[in-house]
Amino acid sequence: MIHTYNSVEEAYYNTLSYVRANGLSCEPRGQKCKEIIGHSFCITSPRNRVIFNKERNINFSFMVAEWLWIMSGSNDVAMISYYNSVIANYSDDGKTMHGAYGKRINKFHQLENVIKKLEEDPDSRQAMIIIFQPSDVVQKTKDVPCTILFQFFIRDYKLHMITYMRSNDVLLGLPYDLFNFTMIQEYVSTRLNNDTSFGMGTYTHMVGSLHMYERDSDRINDVIDEYEKNSKELFGEKNTMNLMDNYNFDGLDWLIRIEKYLRNHSLDSSLLKSTEEAPNDYWKNLFYFLAMRKTKEDNSKNKMLKEIIAISDPYFKKLVT
């Protein structure tokens, strides 16, 4: 049975609740957890993709940085660990990530091949990006990819996406996976939309082992309680991100460049002024997500960034209130 939800927030709440109530006990690698085997759900409005639950306390900078890391084709530890230092613990050599999705997607130009395949045959069933490799079964590594593949379909003039995962931590990993994968879906949809007139369809998430760890039980309870107290505010169309610009993909290259500069320089008025070079507000606002990381280094910048975000877009204002 596939569960259907309107938004990522709604899917997250219901999936957390379902695993807490119905998960069976197991101890892979000696770690106690509750697990559902073979779980699937569908999100009908995948642009409604950000988790605003305050108890979950999403790292918005890391959320965008990870998508950017994937899209740049990188496996570099330094870039992504700047936004989430825990990731470095899973590197085998301290420099690269064995399971980095971007590096694997970039191999054989898989993303571009998917777009080409769908342009040539909109009804194709072969538009796939393969992440997990046979060698991963025997490879001795700290970083075995959790994702197996992405599949894309154009049906009823909409681009639908299915993700297949071998393993998914419902508390920690799922919110970021859903953001990243629906962003990839929208990117492909937008690229295709240059020549064809169709929209973004459903996103379906299929998982072999959907689980939560016993050590996270108290936090999971707090997150679910927050949803039950504020469901009206958290489940709504007002949480839907703006559309990508159909005809301007320079923004991705611009964001990759300015992220590197941001990581290695202080957040000051000149850097913020450089956002005027952004192709449009969509990419500028993604930069503000990234810039939130800098306020942790310098509290004096926090107020300045909050004021800018509050003016820029009502959607992003929610992040700092």
235 in a structural domain: yes
Q: pLDDT tens digit string along 8-22?
A: 999 999 999 999 999
Whether residues 185 and 277 fall in one domain: no
The answer to whether residue 192 sits within a structural domain is: yes
pLDDT for res 273: 72
Q: CA 273, CA 310: separation in Å to the nearest integer?
A: 16
Taking a C-beta distance cutoff of 8 angstroms, is the pair 79, 69 a contact? yes
Classified as helix, coil or strand, 216 is helix
- Please tell me the predicted confidence (pLDDT) of residue 266: 77
Residue 42 sits in the same domain as residue 108 = yes
The list of the chain residues with pLDDT below 50 reads none
Q: What is the reported pLDDT for 300?
A: 63
**The pLDDT value given to residue 286:** 87
108 and 197 belong to one structural domain: yes
| pLDDT score for 303 | 67
Which of 192, 217, 239 is the endpoint of a domain? Answer: 239
Q: Which of 214, 239, 264 is the last residue in one of the domains?
A: 239
Q: In which domain, by residue range, is 285 found?
A: 250-320
Same domain? 145 vs 256: no
The count of structural domains within the chain is 2
Residues 231, 311: one domain? no
Q: Is residue 77 domain-shared with residue 119, that is, in the same domain?
A: yes
Ramachandran assignment for 109, one of left (phi > 0), alpha (psi -120 to 50 degrees), beta (any other): left
Give the tens place of pLDDT for each residue, 291-312: 888 777 666 666 666 666 665 6
Q: For residue 244, is it within any domain? A: no
Give the angle subtended at the CA of 218 by the CAs of 217 and 219, to the nearest 5°: 95
Residues 23 and 120 in one domain: yes
CA–CA separation, 149 and 163 (whole Å): 6
The CATH number of residue 149's host domain is: 3.30.572.10
* Residues 205, 315 within the same domain: no
Same domain? For 215 and 264 the reply is: no
Query: Do residues 135 and 10 share a domain?
Result: yes
Q: 46 and 193: one domain?
A: yes
Per-residue model confidence (pLDDT) at position 142? 97
The answer to whether residues 217 and 304 belong to one domain is: no
Please enumerate in sequence order all residues whose Cβ is within 8 A of that of 288, keeping only pairs 6 or more positions apart, or say none: 275, 305, 308, 309, 312, 316
